[in-house]
Amino acid sequence: MGPVAPATVLDTEQAATRSKARRTVRVARVQGLRPSKQGKRVRFSGSHRTVVDGPFAETKELVAGFWLWQVKSMEEAVEWVKRCPNPMPGTESEIEIRPLYETEDFAAADPTGELRKQEHELRKTIEDRRR
């Protein structure tokens, strides 16, 4: 049994923004992440891997959740984020916008197109399993 988040003004504003976005852009995924105290990090140092348990108190910047949108441009994404409620009401905060890599981004490393074809087939298989 997990914790139940109380309804807040922020939740209501986020729901309204998500609703508007779903009518206009393809919203692939929206999800909050559990607190860092429930997470782990894997630290890389050469060939060694060290697992560090949360919480991560020294973290100044921490991803708390994400929205994955399919939009036509970075400019369209910026316009949507400007409509979002402040994720940390009462304080200054930021929402970072980052594009995903697309298969075509690796065309130079795949001159025959074989790897991109395999990637396309894998994505299709995953999408078919979701249905």
SS3 123: helix
**Distance between CA 55 and CA 71 in Å, rounded?**
34
- 52-84 tens-digit pLDDT: 888 877 666 677 788 888 889 889 989 888 888
- 9-61 tens-digit pLDDT: 446 666 666 666 656 666 667 677 777 888 888 887 888 888 888 887 766 66
8 Å CB contact between 56 and 36: yes
**Distance between CA 68 and CA 77 in Å, rounded?**
10
8 Å CB contact between 85 and 17: yes
The answer to whether the pTM exceeds 0.75 is: no
**Short-list 28, 51, 50, 23, CA closest to 39:** 51
Looking at residue 11, its pLDDT comes to 60
